[in-house]
Chain A
């Protein structure tokens, strides 16, 4: 009985019906994900529809979100399971089927590659002004509350608290310092305005924040907007409070306090990842086609300096020609400030090779399989022609 049931399940798992249903579901997800990009932005739509196991949606009147549709990750897993089961169940050595086997093995790799990208890819940027040297990457989406010890101008110590840890009511001790940060309010996105007459007083009693009104805002939806992440925090050290401060990505003015002779600066900024090497922008260039404002090319001439490996060299980064270094690729992405600021996109993806391998496999497999089919058809036609 149980054995029968298992056999039936195995049959269903390996069946073509499952393949077709999963492919059609995947098509529906692709359409939904594409349409949602105008509202949620690319990353939001991909996370909602593609990199999730279930698509959740709060229906009107319902108190909590419901899983309404299988997500891309689930459909991808089902496809891989279905494919593997089919390969195992139907495997027979037949040269006529060789192409098909190769194609499907390649497909499994392709889906695995997309899972690896979803799990491990890090996407960041590096903005450098001409003449500036930068040794860190900045996250596109995550912010951090940075506390920098700027007592010694030649050597700054920095402690960053990434935004997921900034929960209201949290007390975050900064390792290596006597300071504990108490988070009084946290806004992933907010609208800041000068405090007007009649507004309730600001939570902040120190720094510029005392004169600012903060209203929560929905998280940035499109790819063009950036969250104005803000928080009210109270640094405490040695049992003493240093007042409540407003920190926000849209506040430019430096704010600092002094504890036992050391000066600490507070700021909210894109999360930084420090590198063991530094890059200096020597020259950014950008040409337009003669007599138009259509860009013809961009390029950044940079100097790469890695004392750890004794490397000192110049590199030209331009369109379609990134710098690949230290498991990362640096791409020319954008520019600004009258052509003196260059923005590089930096990507590291340990699974980057998988799609290449799978593509070669699938292409070869399709060629072999359709080639065999085509020659077979031509031969049959010739035979039937001769017979007639």
Chain B
């Protein structure tokens, strides 16, 4: 008995141990100290972050992955960034640009094959044509563009991001920073340094003591200042690291980055501490690992319905709990790193919707112990983290807040309650889906479990109504405080109102006995459609105060999701095992 109890907790503990193991710093690659390099704090997109984050976000945007094959190996984001900065010719040959659109490939005379990744060298031959097409498309509003035009604009943006990165520390094709430091006053050099200061993607030179904490400089600006007699002490260290990397001399590179870090630690210790925390978060990738653990929990649970139920069901729960711990830790780290409440953009809303659904699911499982709480929590956690994973391709997920939204109080109250409302509605829908599948698949569903599922759905709908209503109202109060109108019929407000109204319709129809078990479940699945439209659909309209994140590609994903939910509603309403009647 004791052994069995131990076994039930073992999978969760093992999962947590595996997560912790990813936090260990990686060893040296080809003798180069990538770890120290990745920890270098820089200013990009309005905030301080480690170079590792710059590298990861850029690679995600350009390649939709966090690694690249190069010279017969897979290299990580830090090494890729080093190649881009200091060995641009090598980087240009790496297949980093993912291109899926057949018309964009056709523009370059390429056929669509299983290889979707192309190097800068391949693309550069067609840059003129791409630029012409992208410029023409940019003149249109993003809603008016064709699929091809969106794809070509997207490729052009990625090319310019790549180009900026290549010219962020030294001009590509230039001999390096040592040469620049020797030719400071020379008019040609000044010209070069000026272009460097304009093209650089990030600012790597920390503000000197006495300067404002925002006064980060890129190397171009640093060189121009050095020409005027104010040499930043870190420039030589950076030059040494760059030259060392280019010449494949690990000792020189390692000495350069160590010196650079020592200086940063001296003058901006806080920036370095922040970079160190963020790099830990980057390395663990809590939301990715959480997603994996949720899948394991789901698999364990499915198996438990066929085999060794008493052992596997608790094991699945322990995995779910481990996933929830990792998910929560990730959420807390984001809050600490950003100094903001958990939901600040579409990406973080996905992470939070999943988290709240998982916590609710854990509570349900403790209350009913039927395994269904685990199933729906793991499924909801997994689905929302997958969505978040795809949204992360849009760039830095900890971007700065627009001035209108810059209010921690309202972000913490309005946005969080609304998002919990989304979670609740989705969770009710997920339970209803579980009910539907069970009804058709389970050989002999027992009425007590069915009763429990109906109770859970009903309770969660009440919960969702409360939170979405309170959240909507708090949003109204925020709007009244900052724009002078309580309610403006803005698309996102309307979306929130739809969720409130739909949950109210379900509850009234239940109280009036117009719907019973089946009807309640079908309505709950329809809630999934309403919530997905409110969450993502209104962002696609591109009007209103809330449309900061416009998305093109998500449209089809959303359309398929809605179709699948409609099919599930039909299945929910169909009599049990209706197909046997059809085949006979």
Question: What is A's interface to B at a CB cutoff of 8 Å?
Answer: 16-17, 19-20, 23-24, 26-27, 30-31, 33-35, 37-38, 42, 45-46, 50, 113-114, 117, 121, 123, 222-223, 288-292, 294-298, 319-320, 322, 329, 331, 333, 345-347, 349, 352, 355-356, 359, 362-363, 366-367, 370, 373-374, 377
Please state if A50 and B486 are interface contacts (CB–CB under 8 Å): no
| Interface check B43, CB cutoff 8 A | yes
Cβ-defined partner of B512 (8 Å) among A16, A34, A377: A16
State the CA gap A82–B501 with chains docked (Å): 16
A-B contact pairs, 14 of them (CB 8 A): A16-B511, A16-B514, A117-B487, A290-B214, A294-B46, A295-B402, A297-B406, A319-B403, A319-B404, A331-B482, A347-B485, A349-B484, A355-B476, A366-B465
| Interface check B278, CB cutoff 8 A | no
In the complex, the chain B residue whose C-beta lies closest to that of A113 is B486
In the complex, the chain A residue whose C-beta lies closest to that of B410 is A320
Please state if B494 and A291 are interface contacts (CB–CB under 8 Å): no
State the CA gap A296–B404 with chains docked (Å): 9
In the complex, the chain A residue whose C-beta lies closest to that of B481 is A320
Q: Interface-forming stretch among B172-180, B373-381, B537-545, B559-567?
A: B537-545
Chain A, interface SS category: helix
Please state if B508 and A19 are interface contacts (CB–CB under 8 Å): yes
Q: Mark B383-420, 1 if CB is under 8 A from A, else 0.
A: 00000000000000001101110110010000000000
Query: Across the interface, which residues of B come within 8 angstroms of A17, CB to CB?
Result: 512, 514
State the CA gap A288–B214 with chains docked (Å): 11
In the complex, the chain A residue whose C-beta lies closest to that of B45 is A292
State the CA gap A313–B511 with chains docked (Å): 58
Q: How far is the CB of A245 from chain B (nearest CB, A)?
A: 37
Please state if B216 and A290 are interface contacts (CB–CB under 8 Å): yes
Please state if A289 and B477 are interface contacts (CB–CB under 8 Å): no
Q: How far is the CB of B291 from chain A (nearest CB, A)?
A: 30
Contacts A20-B508, A289-B46 given; indicate if A117 touches B485 (C-beta within 8 A): yes
Please state if A117 and B491 are interface contacts (CB–CB under 8 Å): no
Q: Tell me the count of chain B residues lying within 8 A, CB to CB, of chain A.
A: 59
Query: Across the interface, which residues of A come within 8 angstroms of B410, CB to CB?
Result: 320
State the CA gap A322–B544 with chains docked (Å): 21
State the CA gap A31–B541 with chains docked (Å): 12
Q: How far is the CB of A272 from chain B (nearest CB, A)?
A: 19
Question: What is B's interface to A at a CB cutoff of 8 Å?
Answer: 43-47, 143, 203, 214, 216, 399-400, 402-404, 406-407, 410, 455, 459, 462-463, 465-466, 469-470, 473, 476-478, 480-491, 494-495, 497-498, 501-502, 504-505, 508-509, 511-512, 514, 538, 541-544
Contacts A355-B476, A370-B466 given; indicate if A34 touches B491 (C-beta within 8 A): yes
Query: Across the interface, which residues of B come within 8 angstroms of A292, CB to CB?
Result: 45-46, 400
4 additional A-B pairs beyond A27-B505, A320-B407, beta carbons within 8 Å, are: A292-B45, A296-B403, A319-B406, A331-B484
Cβ-defined partner of A370 (8 Å) among B463, B501, B512, B538: B463
Query: Across the interface, which residues of B come within 8 angstroms of A19, CB to CB?
Result: 508
Please state if B494 and A322 are interface contacts (CB–CB under 8 Å): no
State the CA gap A281–B256 with chains docked (Å): 52
Cβ-defined partner of B43 (8 Å) among A223, A290, A362, A370: A290
Query: Across the interface, which residues of A come within 8 angstroms of B465, CB to CB?
Result: 366
State the CA gap A345–B482 with chains docked (Å): 10
Contacts A114-B487, A359-B473 given; indicate if A290 touches B403 (C-beta within 8 A): no
State the CA gap A34–B491 with chains docked (Å): 5
Query: Across the interface, which residues of B come within 8 angstroms of A366, CB to CB?
Result: 465-466, 469-470
In the complex, the chain A residue whose C-beta lies closest to that of B463 is A370
Please state if B486 and A117 are interface contacts (CB–CB under 8 Å): yes
Please state if B543 and A38 are interface contacts (CB–CB under 8 Å): yes
Query: Across the interface, which residues of A come within 8 angstroms of B466, CB to CB?
Result: 366-367, 370
Q: How far is the CB of B310 from chain A (nearest CB, A)?
A: 19
Cβ-defined partner of A289 (8 Å) among B400, B404, B486, B542: B400
Query: Across the interface, which residues of B come within 8 angstroms of A356, CB to CB?
Result: 477
Query: Across the interface, which residues of A come within 8 angstroms of B512, CB to CB?
Result: 16-17, 20
Contacts A291-B203, A296-B406, A366-B466 given; indicate if A45 touches B459 (C-beta within 8 A): no
In the complex, the chain A residue whose C-beta lies closest to that of B502 is A27
